[in-house]
Amino acid sequence: GNSVTQMEGPVTLSEEAFLTINCTYTATGYPSLFWYVQYPGEGLQLLLKATKADDKGSNKGFEATYRKETTSFHLEKGSVQVSDSAVYFCALSARYDSYKLIFGSGTRLLVRP
């Protein structure tokens, strides 16, 4: 079945450091890929998405590119802020599977001033 694997956390960075959170997936066909963010005590919010190969999703300085050849969707940000501290979830969904989201286990990011 479909699955998502993302890097273990927590990831601890200093403010203005470069961020990469790795995400790889296993799926048949061409799923849509997502990054969701969860701030402390809140629900999940969509951060960015890509619906086909080579698409780049971007939002709030975060970017991720849908790489079909490496089945990856790594999240990057050039300069993190303290306010980016949260848990980040990589996920996929597929039309043939009723758009059910399959999530990775989440990566906690802590940004220190």
Partner 1 sequence: DAGITQSPRYKITETGRQVTLMCHQTWSHSYMFWYRQDLGHGLRLIYYSAAADITDKGEVPDGYVVSRSKTENFPLTLESATRSQTSVYFCASSELDRGRETQYFGPGTRLLVL
Interface with partner 1 (CB under 8 A): 32, 34, 36, 42-46, 49, 51, 89, 93, 95, 98-101, 103-106
**Distance (Å, rounded) from C-alpha 105 to C-alpha 10?**
12
CA atoms within 13 A on the CB side of 92: 26
* CB atoms closer than 10 angstroms to residue 105: 13
Q: Which is closer to partner 1, CB of 3 or CB of 83?
A: 3
CB of 92 to partner 1, least distance (A): 11
Q: Which is closer to partner 1, CB of 42 or CB of 69?
A: 42
CB of 25 to partner 1, least distance (A): 13
CB of 41 to partner 1, least distance (A): 9
The angle subtended at Cα 96 by Cα 37 and Cα 66, nearest 5°, is 45
